[in-house]
């Protein structure tokens, strides 16, 4: 008996086989992914810079290895062990025992850090921050064995804010600013709440300074709530005095701590200069024209041609000369009675002995 011919697979069977093969590949890929590190910072979940520690706890004199990823390439970083979760800034860190490292071309680094006791009690963190370029930072929890532990100080401001990205001044000057109107900009920056409490409607202080003068601070309230461990973008208005020009410095502080300083070069209001130049030209010209009009009105008038015809017709008086414009004027050294007559004979007398 001849064997039955094999039947070709139907489209439904081919689709089912492709689906099973795709599910198998996805399962293998998920199994190959590494597990999330136990000591990684929360920033790693957001795709930002992350820090991982080789040890959770170590005593003074020991060492631990700090590994980071997601940083900018070829960037200089500082590594510090800080107390009180670095609420008080770098004043709570063991600055003398810190280390510096430069990230590689992929934004990663691997550095050994000696364990030192910070000047403030724990809870402690390993703080990694950029030195050059836009500000960026990440923390990882760490315990210094044998170091005192104390509760964190209460945050009167309702959260601890720090700047996570370089600020920028947005906006441009208009036509009114060219004529002396107050220059205006918007200070935009990304802040993160690294404290343990949410920041509700935080009040920032913006100061502007020119030259060696101290900044003049103004309160600016940002409406909103920033939960602990989150970040957001804050935009605050900045305004200078009318007619301001030159190099200014915009400063921002929160809770008595200076956050950022941003330079601002303000152009000169040339419209005001042009106005004063025109004013200095127009006013003297107008005064001169008014003065000439007054002089022309008060000076005596000369007799016109009709008056001269009534007194002497077209004959010219004796002792007068004719001007180029047809008018006659008496000579100043002759009077009409003593002027020489134009009818006197000019013939020379005959010489003696002539016929």
Per-residue pLDDT of 83-106, as tens digits, reads 988 876 778 899 999 999 999 999
pTM above 0.75, yes or no: no
Distance CA 210, CA 186 (A): 18
**Pseudo-torsion of CA 89, 215, 255, 163, nearest 10°?**
-50
Distance CA 29, CA 22 (A): 11
DSSP state of 65: E
Question: Interior CA angle at 71 toward 68 and 72, to 5°?
Answer: 145
Average per-residue pLDDT for the chain: 75
Task: Give residue-wise pLDDT tens across range 223-274.
Answer: 888 888 788 889 988 888 887 777 888 889 888 788 888 888 887 777 667 7
**Quick one: pLDDT at residue 107?**
92
Residue 19 scores a pLDDT above 70 = no
Residue 38 vs residue 128, higher pLDDT: 128
């Amino acid at each position: 008996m001849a064997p039955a011919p094999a039947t070709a697979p139907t489209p439904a069977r081919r689709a089912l086989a492709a689906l099973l093969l795709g599910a198998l590949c996805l399962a293998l890929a998920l199994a190959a992914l590494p597990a999330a590190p136990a000591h990684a910072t929360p920033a790693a979940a957001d795709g930002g810079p992350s820090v991982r520690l080789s040890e959770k706890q170590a005593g003074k004199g020991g060492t631990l290895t700090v590994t980071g990823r997601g940083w900018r390439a070829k960037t200089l970083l500082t590594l510090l062990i800080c107390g009180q979760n670095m609420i008080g800034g770098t004043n709570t860190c063991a600055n003398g025992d810190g280390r510096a490292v430069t990230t590689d071309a992929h934004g990663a680094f691997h550095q050994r850090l000696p364990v030192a006791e910070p000047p403030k009690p724990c809870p402690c963190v390993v703080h990694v921050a950029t030195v050059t370029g836009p500000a960026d930072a990440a923390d990882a929890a760490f315990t210094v064995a044998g170091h005192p532990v104390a509760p964190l100080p209460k945050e009167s401001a309702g959260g601890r804010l720090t700047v996570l990205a370089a600020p920028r001044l947005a906006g441009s000057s208009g036509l009114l600013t060219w004529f002396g109107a107050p220059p205006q900009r918007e200070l935009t920056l990304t802040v993160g709440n690294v404290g343990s409490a949410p920041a509700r409607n935080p009040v920032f202080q913006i100061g502007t300074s020119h030259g060696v003068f101290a900044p003049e601070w103004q309160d600016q309230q940002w409406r909103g709530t920033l939960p602990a461990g989150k970040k957001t973008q804050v935009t605050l208005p900045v305004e200078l005095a009318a007619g301001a020009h030159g190099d200014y410095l915009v400063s921002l502080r929160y809770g008595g701590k200076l956050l950022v300083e941003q330079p601002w070069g303000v152009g000169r209001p040339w419209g005001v200069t042009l106005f004063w130049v025109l004013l200095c030209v127009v006013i003297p010209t107008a005064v001169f024209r008014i003065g000439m009009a007054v002089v022309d009105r008060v000076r005596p008038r000369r007799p016109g041609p009709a008056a001269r015809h009534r007194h002497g017709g077209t004959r010219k008086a004796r002792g007068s000369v004719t001007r180029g414009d047809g008018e006659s004027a008496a000579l100043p050294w002759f009077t009409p009675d003593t002027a020489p007559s134009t009818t006197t004979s000019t013939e020379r007398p005959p010489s003696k002995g002539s016929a």
